[in-house]
A and B are shown apart, each in its own frame.
Chain A
Amino acid sequence: MCLAIPGKIIEILNDDPLMRSGKVSFSGIIKEINLAFTPEAEVGHYVIAHAGFAISTLDEKAAEEILMIFE
């Protein structure tokens, strides 16, 4: 239920604060995602999306760090 997956923003569609949305690619599957909770997210960023909403912008440095430790 709390499944949320990372996808890459390929286009910002609407910059109204409440309706802010973008096209997000989940490995090629493109969905329109509401970006109202991630005003900092821009084209090229990855967001974690749940129920049609981005709930965070993925921190790429933190993402790499955890992988390096267990190499």
Chain B
Amino acid sequence: MKYIDEYRCPRKIKNLTDAVKDIVTKPWKIMEVCGGQTHAIMRYGLETLLPDFITLLHGPGCPVCVTSQEIIDKAIETAAEKDVIFCSFGDMLRVPGTKKDLLSVKAEGGDVRIVYSPLNAVKLAKLNPGRIVVFFAIGFETTAPANAMSVIQADRLKLNNFKLLTSQVLIPPAIEAILSPPNTAVNGMLAPGHVCTVTGYENYENIARKYEIPIVVTGFEPVDILSGILKCVEMLEKGDNRAANQYARSVRREGNLKAQQIISDVFQVTDYKWRGIGMIPDSGLKLKAKYSKFDAEEFFGAVELNDDTNDRCISGLILQGVKKPDQCPEFAVNCTPENPLGATMVSSEGACAAYYKYRKSRL
């Protein structure tokens, strides 16, 4: 596959890991922010190819993982309503709510459908005027433009039966929370390439300056991830605390202005409660008042956030790079992808699930 296979080339992977070995002189902890990168690191065993000096910490960049239990419960409750067609990306279906998951609502007769794009949900609303179509709009900045466009199109089509259950998260406030004391475990960061494709990386330049760490915008294939790590180590060794871009084939400094425009037209910034981490100010998005008729919470009632703590699960510490999945006593004992105790085990992009899938089979 063009623009994929060449970034998986074993010779280039070897050249890159050799280059890291040549320049590293001290131990460094580097966090890859995005769950997609965590998954690729485990899948290709990239950690095992790097010198012992490099420790990779796995960040909070898995929207499925950080969506709070209360929103998932709301989704489950809404999906069970008569006359509702509940549409979601496939990865949300198995995330456990307090009592069950969306898949079991479907098994019990609820009309739960997997869609590839939010525009498919708009289409369903148009085709089913007698029913309410709810789209579970989860995601980071990468997905926000698509979710925003579904609202614009529903508005244009004058659809009264299209609703968004929004759980949109923003990366920069979360990484600032991770970099603020007492959580200062991280020396350098790989910023998420597809989030930055939308937002650009000026924001990350400011964070690099403020917290005095190098941040490297990084892609998702093995060559991308290793070249991000190489760049980050180079900068760490030199004390160069700036932002750099190793994913220039997709990311421009200013990002995608059209996509940013539509996000700010439809959404406004709000506080958001991250599963495992807790409330982070200004780290989420909600629909603007002018689009409130598309807000599922206006229609079905607001999500009520609780103070949840599950003392058996340490996913909050994992999402912040403080602990690794195999340091959790429940890992692969009472917690498995079939029977997950916490959200980082549910999504294949969660660090616990990635360790389970790729680490366990190598033991």
A1-B349, A52-B120 known, 4 other contacts, Cβ within 8 Å: A1-B63, A2-B142, A59-B248, A63-B249
Set B16, B63, B64, B149: member contacting A53, Cβ < 8 A: B149
CB-contacts of B1-57 with A (<8 A): 1-4, 6-7, 12, 15-16, 19, 34-36
Contacts of B149 in A (CB 8 A): 18, 34, 36, 53
Set B139, B147, B251: member contacting A56, Cβ < 8 A: B251
Set A2, A39, A50, A51: member contacting B258, Cβ < 8 A: A39
A12 at the interface (CB under 8 A from B): no
B142 touches A6 (CB 8 A): no
Contacts of B63 in A (CB 8 A): 1-2
Set A19, A34, A63, A70: member contacting B227, Cβ < 8 A: A70
Q: How large is the interface on A (under 10, 10 to 19, 20 to 34, 35 or more residues)?
A: 35 or more
- Most A CB within 10 A of own CB, among B15, B120, B195, B258: B258
A1 touches B15 (CB 8 A): no
Given contacts A1-B35, A1-B63, contact A55 B259 (CB under 8 A): yes
Beta-carbon contacts of B96-121 to A below 8 Å, as 1s and 0s? Answer: 00000000000000000000111110
| 29 A-B pairs in the complex with CB atoms less than 8 angstroms apart | A1-B64, A1-B91, A1-B139, A1-B347, A2-B36, A2-B63, A2-B139, A2-B142, A3-B220, A4-B194, A6-B3, A8-B2, A37-B259, A37-B262, A46-B3, A48-B197, A51-B139, A51-B143, A53-B146, A55-B145, A55-B198, A56-B250, A58-B249, A58-B250, A60-B249, A62-B249, A63-B3, A67-B6, A70-B15
B145 touches A70 (CB 8 A): no
Beta-carbon contacts of A20-63 to B below 8 Å, as 1s and 0s? Answer: 00000011000000101111000000101011110110111011
- Most B CB within 10 A of own CB, among A53, A58, A62: A53
Q: Which residues of B contact A (CB under 8 A)?
A: 1-4, 6-7, 12, 15-16, 19, 34-36, 61-64, 89, 91, 116-120, 138-140, 142-143, 145-147, 149, 152-153, 156, 192, 194-195, 197-198, 220, 223-224, 227, 246, 248-252, 256, 258-259, 262, 347, 349
Q: Which residues of A contact B (CB under 8 A)?
A: 1-6, 8, 18-19, 26-27, 34, 36-39, 46, 48, 50-53, 55-56, 58-60, 62-63, 65-67, 69-71
C-alpha gap A63/B247 in the complex (Å): 8
